[in-house]
Chains A and B, each alone.
Chain A
Amino acid sequence: MSKKQLQLVIFGINAELYAIDTQGVKEISRMEDITPIPRTKPYIEGILNLRGQIIPVVCLRKRLGLPERVDDKETRIIIIDFDELRVGLIVDFVSEVITLIDSTLIPAPEVATAAYVAGLCHYNNNLVIVINIEALFAEQHEIVAEIGVGIYAKQ
């Protein structure tokens, strides 16, 4: 097992904590006006003008099958790059960037083995779900939030 460091952005959806690798995270911006594109998958919120570039925005809440919620001043868009694609992810809030000395993640328990779960890690006495972005957008895995993550997120 490698002892490489791993940097994660910790963010929240539905009072639960998630994380993604900072590699690929371009920036985090406040909620902006998003132009909806009709007739798309419900979790695709629309498109955004990022300094002259048009990028798609995904509502992570809807992507994970969680109930809708009104945006507030804590709402953030995490801009990420993957597969030569730049995408915005809407999350409820972003808390901070942490560094794991040991990049080895805790394997997800069997009940939570959704494709997008890369593993778990500890953060302030909480267990955080680390998301694998590629898997999140691999269309064959339609994600259903039946997984009982909630139990693990709050100890």
Chain B
Amino acid sequence: MQNSDYLRLFLDEAEEIIDRLTGNLVLLEKYPEEPRIINEVFRDAHTVKGSAGAMGFTQMAEVAHQMESVLSCLRQKQVGATPLLFSALLSGLDMIRQIKHDVYASGVERSYNISAVVGSLAQFLQAQSQVAAAMPVAVLPTAKVQHMPKLRVEITLRAGTVMKSARSYVILQSLKQLGQVINCEPSEVDLMAERFDLRFVVDLITEDSPDNVVAFLGQDGDIEDVKLQTVLTETTAKTMPGQAPTELRHEARQHSVRVDVKKLEVLMNLVGELVIERNRLATIAGIMERQNKEDASVRTLMAVSGQLGRITGDLQLEIMKARMIPISQLFSTFPRLVRDLSQGLGKQIELHLEGNETELDRTIVEEIRDPLIHIVRNAVDHGVDSPADRLAAGKSAAGNITLRATHEENNVVITISDDGRGIDGQAVSRKAVAMGLTTEDQVNAMTPEQVNQLIFLPGLSTASKVTDVSGRGVGMDIVKSQLEKLGGSVNITSKVGSGTKFVIRLPLTLAIIRALLVRVGDRDYAVPIVSVSETKRMHSVEVKTVQGLECIVVREQIIPLVGMHQVLELVKPTEVPSNLVVATSGNTKVGLLVDRLLGEQEIVIKPLGPFFHDNREFAGATILGDGRVIPIIDVKGLFDLINKKK
């Protein structure tokens, strides 16, 4: 193991813990009495302290230490669970996240102004601190140490634990933070040199109860077993009865390993190769069968080829699934966000998360983070009304925001709904007309549904005042285009007085899309189906000339008509192209002339690579079942190209 490997493990672990802490802290604020939550939060803060300390990130360890101290007071009911306390804890967590982020980017801890965060945490610590347990033992007076019980901690690592020496080091460091380690068998040097089997014994002088020590060690997945024995020091032997060994069995462990995403991509490519070889085998088997149907070995070959096909297909699906992560990883950021925003705005909001276990491609999860945050911010700021307004309207004082994720066929559908004041369609359309984004006649012809979609136009925001949270009129159009870039779509429904609902539809994975295959000249191209609004035969449409440009009228809308061969600078076709693909990107539509429509198909997207960086009109390429390579059109890039040529 290299140093960098430890760092990566540390960062992976830290990220997981920080996410969990964020969610749990917000939960704890609601249910401060819940022992399960406070114990988990306490353990997590302790783990961060321990592993950050072990990695030498002292500032991170310091902040975590302060958080742990405050949590300790909270657990012992020495401080009240006030919003102020949670804000201090959360800003401590922000600092830790910031440091982690920098360590991730540069590998080192920079210099931070942690005193403000640490100070605001420290004010919750009581003067006659009973939090000694969480304080470094080095500062404890020796006299006190003598009166503390000695614990004999016997640790057994799980069989097959990798890098035992590092694990034992981390465990030892954690124990040292609990108290004073007075003896270690085998010796620390032997532990570092991995000169031990799975078991080692640490003698510890600590004020912490044996149960706490077990709890501290309990979260370490590599520990098979912890045995504790209280060995009383002479001066206290008469007053404190000995305790029986405390045993701890782990709860059901999660059976999982971390895998580098790159490795999954390599696997994916290998399966791609396998698919193509399988296809070749199937072709050859087919030829042989035609030549010699009776031959038993040919029949076997056919069977094997069929079987191989099924296995390959399953393998491809499973590897695709391995790239999927539950949306809870994204949803878990929202309780904190909604808490902070609603407190700032003086609103009461209940956030409901549903379908946490819904899985989708990890790239998509990362890419939809910002758009979702934007929509949720809007819901908090403009959607949910103030408690006074709500009560006046006969609703409960607390508003509700619900995030729900579900699977629908090959899509993931995410809805964000609130029970707030809804969108004022008239205000939206007035503003859109005033800004020249649409005309009065057009607005009058629109259904209320269509009016609502106007908020996705660039520059439109109905917020009467610009706030910190939202309302600058930027965003919804970007949200829309960002989701479309992923092959998704977004729709809005709203009813004045009863709420607003956004429905986002996303593909399960970015690697596979549905595409329409078209022929231009002697080559085929794939157009992602999400960018196709309809296809038509040329003779069924009306061609007009507007300002010297050819246009067509589709559904009472005038859209430009462009020959695909023109945009792509291909040879002019001998016959006039007879088919039309109405392509759409954002709010733009263009009629693309192609020679033939070849039907829809699921395709696997592969990147074109650096040689084609300037070709923004292509999103990549795909390999069809017969081995042919087909470029995939990026409709937005194609539109940009068309505009440039005008």
Q: Are the C-beta atoms of A44 and B608 separated by less than 8 Å?
A: no
Q: Quick check: is A69 within 8 A (CB to CB) of the other chain?
A: no
Bound CA span A64–B377, Å: 57
Question: Residue A51 at the B interface, CB < 8 A?
Answer: yes
Interface string of B607-624 (1 = CB under 8 A from A): 111111011011001010
Q: With A49-B627, A52-B623 known to touch, is A40 a contact of B277 (CB < 8 Å)?
A: no
CB-CB < 8 A to A36: which residues of B? 523
Is B269 part of the binding interface, using a Cβ–Cβ cutoff of 8 Å? yes
Q: Do A49 and B623 contact each other (CB < 8 Å), given the known contacts A35-B629, A35-B630, A37-B618? A: yes
Asked whether B630 lies within 8 Å of A37 as measured between CB atoms, the reply is: no
Q: Nearest-CB distance from B34 to chain A (Å)?
A: 51
B468 to chain A, nearest CB (A): 44
Q: Does A54 contact B (CB under 8 A)?
A: yes
Partner of B273, one of A35, A51, A56: A51
Whole-angstrom distance between the alpha carbons of A56 and B611 in the complex? 7
Q: Is A70 an interface residue (CB 8 A)?
A: no
Q: Does A110 contact B (CB under 8 A)?
A: no
Query: Interface residue tally of chain A, by bracket?
Result: 20 to 34
Cα–Cα distance between A72 and B67 once the two chains are bound (Å): 74
B570 at the interface (CB under 8 A from A): yes
B568 at the A/B interface (Cβ < 8 Å)? yes
- Using Cβ atoms and an 8 Å threshold, which residues of chain A touch B612? 37, 40, 44, 56
Q: Which of B269, B523, B617, B627 contacts A53 (CB 8 A)?
A: B269
**Cross-chain contact A35 with B611 (CB below 8 angstroms):** no
A85 CA / B610 CA spacing, docked (Å): 9
On chain A, the residues within 8 Å of B629 by CB distance are 35, 47-49, 54
Given contacts A35-B621, A37-B612, A47-B621, contact A54 B606 (CB under 8 A): yes
Contacting pair A85 B568 (CB below 8 A): no
Classify the interface of chain A: helix, strand, loop or mixed. Answer: strand
Whether A33 is near chain B, meaning CB under 8 Å from some CB there, is yes
B269 shortest CB reach to chain A, Å: 6
Q: Which of chain A's residues has its CB closest to B611's CB?
A: A56
Which positions 577-621 of chain B face chain A at CB distance < 8 Å?
Answer: 606-612, 614-615, 617-618, 621
Return the contact of B568 from the options A35, A38, A52, A55 (Cβ within 8 A): A38
CA distance A69 to B618 in the complex (A): 28
Interface residues of chain B: helix, strand, loop or mixed (majority): mixed
Asked if B251 CB lies within 8 Å of chain A CBs, one says no
B628 within 8 Å of A by Cβ? yes
Contact with B along A49-88 (1 / 0, CB 8 A): 1011111101000000000000000000000000001010
Q: Tell me which of B276, B609, B617, B630 has the highest count of chain A C-beta atoms within 10 A of its own C-beta.
A: B609
Chain A residues near B615 (CB-CB < 8 A): 37-40
In the assembled complex, which residues on chain A have CB atoms less than 8 Å from the CB atom of B275?
52
Which A residues lie within 8 Å of B273 (CB)? 51-53
In the assembled complex, how far is the CB of residue A62 from the closest CB belonging to chain B, in whole angstroms?
14
Q: Tell whether B475 is near chain A: CB-to-CB under 8 Å.
A: no
Whole-angstrom CA separation of A39 from B608 in the bound complex: 14
B542, CB-defined interface residue at 8 Å: no
B371 at interface (Cβ–Cβ under 8 A)? no
- B residues in contact with A51, CB < 8 Å: 273, 276-277
A39 to chain B, nearest CB (A): 6
CB distance from A28 to the nearest CB of B (A): 19
Chain A residues 134-149 with CB under 8 Å of chain B are: none
Given contacts A35-B629, A37-B608, A39-B615, contact A52 B276 (CB under 8 A): yes
Q: Report the bound CA distance from A55 to B276 in whole Å.
A: 15
Task: Assess whether B569 is interfacial by the CB under 8 Å rule.
Answer: yes
Shortest B317–chain A CB gap in Å is: 16
* 26 cross-chain CB contacts under 8 A: A33-B628, A35-B621, A36-B523, A37-B631, A38-B570, A39-B569, A40-B611, A40-B614, A44-B611, A47-B621, A47-B629, A49-B627, A49-B629, A52-B270, A52-B272, A52-B273, A52-B274, A52-B623, A54-B607, A54-B609, A55-B609, A56-B611, A58-B611, A85-B609, A85-B610, A87-B611
| Interface of A toward B, CB cutoff 8 Å | 33, 35-40, 44, 47-49, 51-56, 58, 85, 87
By a beta-carbon cutoff of 8 Å, the part of chain B in contact with chain A is 269-270, 272-277, 523, 568-570, 606-612, 614-615, 617-618, 621, 623, 627-631
